[in-house]
Structure 1
Amino acid sequence: MDKNMAAFALGLLLFGLAGVGHSCLDPASAYRFVGAVCRLTYPAAVVLNEKTTEVIKAAFQHAKYPDIEGEKSMSFIGKLKYGLLNLEIHNLSIGKSEFELRENVGIGIDISNVSAVFKGTIKYSYGSALFTVGHSIDFEIESKIDLVINSKLYCGKGKVAADTSDCCLTFHKLKLLLQGDREPGWIKRIFTDIITFTMRLVVKGQICKEINKVADILAEFIQETAEEFLSDGDIRVDIGVTSAPVITSNYIESYHKGLVTYNGSTSVVNASVFNPDQLSEDRSLHFWISDDTLNPLMTAAYDDGRFIRNISGEDLRFLFQKELSAARPELLNKWLSSEEPLLKTWSASVPHLWTTTQGTSVKAVAAVELSSAKQDTPPVLYFETEVEVVVRASYADKNLILNCTAVHISISKVSTSPDISESLNAYLQEAVEKIGVAKVISYLEPELTALMNEQGLHLFDLINPEVTPQNGYVLIQMDFGFPHHLLVEFLRKTLD
């Protein structure tokens, strides 16, 4: 289906750029409302364009072409009525697809040497009111087509839109074969002229008319896919655009709100630190993510009750096998040796996050309660600890890796006595640093990896991803292989 092949080619080059925005501003004005930025460089566009041939083939092979009907008055046979029915595509081959990023304008796409055979049935009748003859003939149309789309990108009604009205099809071949070319000569000559003329008009008109429609479907599909990836449960991230994308000869760059929505409330970004100079052109794909997006995500996770953990059984006993320089107080020894010891921990305050070149710092107050899993058993110990850590993230072998360093730990509100003993304070502080922080990271790494994999990240071929913390934002840079499953899923939804 030519309309799909062109639209998908366009959509692949616009991957991740489409979305609904609260307003459309010029890029410079939009910068301060930006929570996330995507820069797709020319090498990435090349990777995406390489998939176009697959998309063209799949679209053609799954297409359902409309029947074409017409009539023509002819002096020697009367009125000729005809219909081209049950059109199908066979023997499809694609030459090549080329594109060009046109600065401040849009994307030029040139798909050449699309060769296919249309097969179907012609039903026709001719004659007058007194005498009519009807027949049905199988036919084939051999075709070779070039398609050129000069698309312009703009911001319309709060979203990135593509004006593809500059659309041109060139037919290098359109040859009609009737029943293996065995039909009488005069029938072939009549239908050769009528059908080839009709096919040119219908195919060209249909393609250029529906490119925008299919491009919109693709944009919605990509938008929904991206939003699903950035959402979990009641926590969602609005990635609507704040401006039309910027296009240079080397990259396409889009600006997204990155607003976190939870339980009816939405975060705000109105003083972003973004500047285009913060992004390079060294890698295929660059993501800029602001603390204005990351910090509300942390708050939403806290409000959603996600920072709670109970540890018991062998997992708990193994936890306290780690040797510390401070001696373990007898109070804790008795608790560990008791029946069904239970450790409960949760965040007692909203964590606060900020990023510097050293990493992403997180500061929070954690509450810890040591008790028994038995009902109606009073806690053995309760305390709170203020913890500040610096985290550096990386991604390798399809797993998230968190490198965490504690920079501040203090103990307060210990339940055993108003005056906490120095030995207990020393032990708890060392235990939090060397046992507690490491244990939290051991939970976060696999759980966050599993969460991202649930959204399909493991299906992407991410090549040497880099996570670089900066002042007020994080840069994620990588090369990539376009995931075939995304094409399959789009085609399934579009062509069903």
Structure 2
Amino acid sequence: MSWAGRMILGIFRVLLVLVHASAACDFGPFPYRATGIVCRMTKPAALLLNQETSQVIQAAFRNAKFPNITGERSVRLLGKVAYELTNIQVNGLSIEKSDVELKENNAIYIAIKNVTASFKGTLTYGYAGAWFLRLFHSVDFEIESSIDLQLDIKLMCQEEKLVADASDCYLTFHKLTLHLQGDKEPGWLKQLFTDFISFTLKLVLKREVCKEINSLAQMLANFVLDLAANFVRDKDIVVDLSLAADSLIRTGFVESHHKGLVLYKNYSSTLSDSVFSPLLLTESRMIYFWLSEHTFSSLASAAFLDGKLGLTIRGEKLQALFELEDTEAQRKAVQMIFQGTSYNDSVAKVWSLAHPQISLQPEGTVVESLVAVEVSILPAGGEPLVVLYMEKEITVTIQAAYAEKKLILQPLDSRIEFKVFKCPADPSGDDPSVRSFLQNMISVAGISEVTSSIASALTSLMNNKGLNLFDIINPEIITRQGYVIVQLDFDFPHHLLLDFLQKSL
């Protein structure tokens, strides 16, 4: 196929990709209404991440596959001179400076200054003179170069996935010097091949380095998306991070919008009334995460369906709950319930009977749940004997915080309403002391024990996903009506970069 034919075919393929991408990412006139999760990275975060751009660029240079360069030219007296550069490799590389700029509605602009790169390989050349003299030689060569690199990275959407496009890549050569082995070859030969090779070499370096950078950018975007998808997944519970709207690039931040729908086996959620607006977030912190009430409520429903909303309490923890008050009424109630049995021979089970209802308010996260509690004693050699069963509707407001790599859930005011109460020691339910004691115990200590257990389980889950490897600075969890904002600063996640480079290169 001719060069023109290949060019037309290439353009046609590009148009097909663009048409396919635009058709797959038609978000409609009101895209934010389907937005459940938002991530905003501000300029300070971009500057911090840019400090390690040099490692990615160096990886791009070293990982680029440079093809053999061949050429031929007619030279007076010598006839035709043919040459081939083979085994081209990066021999040394250093980067002086890297700058990043966020272009309004355009791209992430990265300027790499003074990339000093040394390439080595083998030069084979031959020429035929007018008297049929044929000479062929091979000599090792080294090329010293000084390059500036400019990248315009665009955030695009393909099949509702975020894609980084770094195809706008420009190399400016300030120096390109060819050294033949030991510089023992004649000066005219060195000058000859420098003139021949220089232009072609610049094109090859630009093509291969820019191709590798674009490939790395896409791989890095996929790596981050896979990392995020894994973080919000727990076995069969999955959060859909498909794009809900086009990404925003402003001079102060980059922002992506995701559906945030929860999928669990045959259960899935839908969202069409999100309250998100970019005006809800500021630019004073490095990273912002905006999460809708719908996403939180759907996660709670999926956790209920998966049987995760249950807790077993025994031994010292159970004893601490029932001995919260050292009063005559407490001792009488405990004696009646346990019938003199040791706490070590007893167990309490707590579980949710229905989907919890989640409401995000300025004062915190309001949780309404119908909960069952069953206390059993375990006689030696006998079957478990239920000594207390109750169902109660609990409404509690919880404030969340994250400190010392742990999630903290602090219950505030609560309201308890008994729906079912069964105690064999008080079958008629006429003794108000037992119910009064239990209501006080649940309000003062029981809810705290449950929220503490949930916080520990969530902390363990997040640490298993690698959150504890991040150096998170002054995180804040702020609830508002219908949504929550998590805002924080961070130090550079070196472990992520190393993990990416090891897996990708």
**Common topology (TM > 0.5):** yes
1:37, 1:140 → 2: CA distance? Answer: 49
Structure 2: which 5+ residue stretches go unaligned? Answer: 1-20
Counterpart in the other structure of 2:7: none
Residue from 181, 184, 187 that aligns with 1:185 = 187
Residue from 458, 461, 464 that aligns with 1:454 = 464
Structure 1 residues 337, 165: closer, same or farther in 2, change over 3 A? closer
Q: Please identify, of 30-39 and 241-250, the stretch whose mean Cα deviation from structure 2 is larger.
A: 241-250
Residue from 180, 205, 208 that aligns with 1:206 = 208
Q: Please identify, of 426-435 and 222-231, the stretch whose mean Cα deviation from structure 2 is larger.
A: 426-435
Counterpart in the other structure of 1:403: 410
Matched, 1:293 2:295: yes
Structure 1 residues 248, 233: closer, same or farther in 2, change over 3 A? same
1:69, 1:420 → 2: CA distance? Answer: 96
2:430, 2:89 → 1: CA distance? Answer: 82
1:321, 1:20 → 2: CA distance? Answer: 65
CA RMSD of aligned residues (A): 2.6
Structure 1 residues 338, 215: closer, same or farther in 2, change over 3 A? closer
Matched, 1:433 2:443: yes
Counterpart in the other structure of 1:388: 395
The structural deviation recorded for 1:130 is 7.7
1:130-149 matches, within 5 Å, as 133-149=135-151
2:268, 2:24 → 1: CA distance? Answer: 13
2:138, 2:268 → 1: CA distance? Answer: 63
Structure 1 residues 184, 324: closer, same or farther in 2, change over 3 A? farther
Check whether the contact 2:33–2:272 (CA below 8 A) recurs between aligned residues.
yes
Check whether the contact 1:24–1:159 (CA below 8 A) recurs between aligned residues.
no
Q: What letter matches 2:91 in structure 1?
A: H
Deviations 1:160-199 (A, max 9, x none): 4455454321100111111132223343223222332221
Deviations 1:332-377 (A, max 9, x none): 3426427721222211121111110000011112211111346633
Counterpart in the other structure of 1:493: 503
Q: How many residues align?
A: 475
1:485, 1:224 → 2: CA distance? Answer: 16
1:406, 1:65 → 2: CA distance? Answer: 64
2:104, 2:491 → 1: CA distance? Answer: 25
Check whether the contact 2:33–2:273 (CA below 8 A) recurs between aligned residues.
yes
Q: Tell me the secondary structure at the aligned position of residue 421 of structure 2.
A: coil
Structure 1 residues 164, 377: closer, same or farther in 2, change over 3 A? closer
Deviations 1:384-437 (A, max 9, x none): 122111111111121111111242012232222253531111111112112311
Structure 1 residues 375, 419: closer, same or farther in 2, change over 3 A? same
Q: What letter matches 2:403 in structure 1?
A: A
1:67, 1:156 → 2: CA distance? Answer: 30
Q: What letter matches 2:408 in structure 1?
A: I
- Identity across matched positions, percent: 43
Q: What letter matches 2:323 in structure 1?
A: Q
Matched, 1:481 2:491: yes
Deviations 1:17-62 (A, max 9, x none): xx99974326x711111101122222222112222123323444x4
1:420, 1:63 → 2: CA distance? Answer: 80
Structure 1 residues 131, 451: closer, same or farther in 2, change over 3 A? farther
Q: What letter matches 1:35 in structure 2?
A: G
Structure 1 residues 377, 465: closer, same or farther in 2, change over 3 A? closer
Counterpart in the other structure of 2:243: 241
Q: What letter matches 1:389 in structure 2?
A: V
The structural deviation recorded for 1:143 is 0.6
1:59-208 matches, within 5 Å, as 59-60=60-61, 62-75=62-75, 76-77=77-78, 80-127=81-128, 133-162=135-164, 164-208=166-210
Structure 1 residues 55, 179: closer, same or farther in 2, change over 3 A? same
Matched, 1:332 2:337: yes
Larger Rg: 2
2:24, 2:459 → 1: CA distance? Answer: 32
Structure 1: which 5+ residue stretches go unaligned? Answer: 1-18
Matched, 1:349 2:354: yes
Deviations 1:47-80 (A, max 9, x none): 12222123323444x4253331313143555554
Deviations 1:245-294 (A, max 9, x none): 12222222221111111113321110011122211122121111111101
Q: What letter matches 2:369 in structure 1?
A: A
Matched, 1:33 2:43: no
The structural deviation recorded for 1:304 is 0.8
Q: Tell me the secondary structure at the aligned position of residue 346 of structure 1.
A: strand
Q: What letter matches 1:475 in structure 2?
A: I
1:218, 1:420 → 2: CA distance? Answer: 67
Structure 1 residues 227, 480: closer, same or farther in 2, change over 3 A? same
1:2-17 matches, within 5 Å, as none
1:434, 1:376 → 2: CA distance? Answer: 31
Q: Please identify, of 156-165 and 166-175, the stretch whose mean Cα deviation from structure 2 is larger.
A: 156-165
2:284, 2:233 → 1: CA distance? Answer: 29
Q: Greater relative contact order (Cα 8 A, min sep 6): structure 1 or 2? A: 1
TM-score (ref. length: structure 1): 0.88
Q: What letter matches 2:30 in structure 1?
A: S
Check whether the contact 1:119–1:139 (CA below 8 A) recurs between aligned residues.
yes
Structure 1 residues 156, 468: closer, same or farther in 2, change over 3 A? same
Structure 1 residues 122, 331: closer, same or farther in 2, change over 3 A? farther
Q: Tell me the secondary structure at the aligned position of residue 244 of structure 1.
A: strand
Counterpart in the other structure of 1:363: 368
2:341, 2:274 → 1: CA distance? Answer: 49
The structural deviation recorded for 1:480 is 1.5
2:458, 2:375 → 1: CA distance? Answer: 26
Q: What letter matches 1:327 in structure 2?
A: Q
2:313, 2:56 → 1: CA distance? Answer: 50
Q: What letter matches 1:350 in structure 2?
A: H
1:306, 1:484 → 2: CA distance? Answer: 34
Q: Please identify, of 128-137 and 409-418, the stretch whose mean Cα deviation from structure 2 is larger.
A: 128-137
Structure 1 residues 92, 141: closer, same or farther in 2, change over 3 A? same
Q: What letter matches 1:68 in structure 2?
A: N
Q: What letter matches 2:485 in structure 1?
A: L
TM-score (ref. length: structure 2): 0.87
Structure 1 residues 97, 24: closer, same or farther in 2, change over 3 A? farther
Structure 1 residues 88, 391: closer, same or farther in 2, change over 3 A? same
Q: Please identify, of 466-475 and 68-77, the stretch whose mean Cα deviation from structure 2 is larger.
A: 68-77
Q: What letter matches 1:489 in structure 2?
A: D
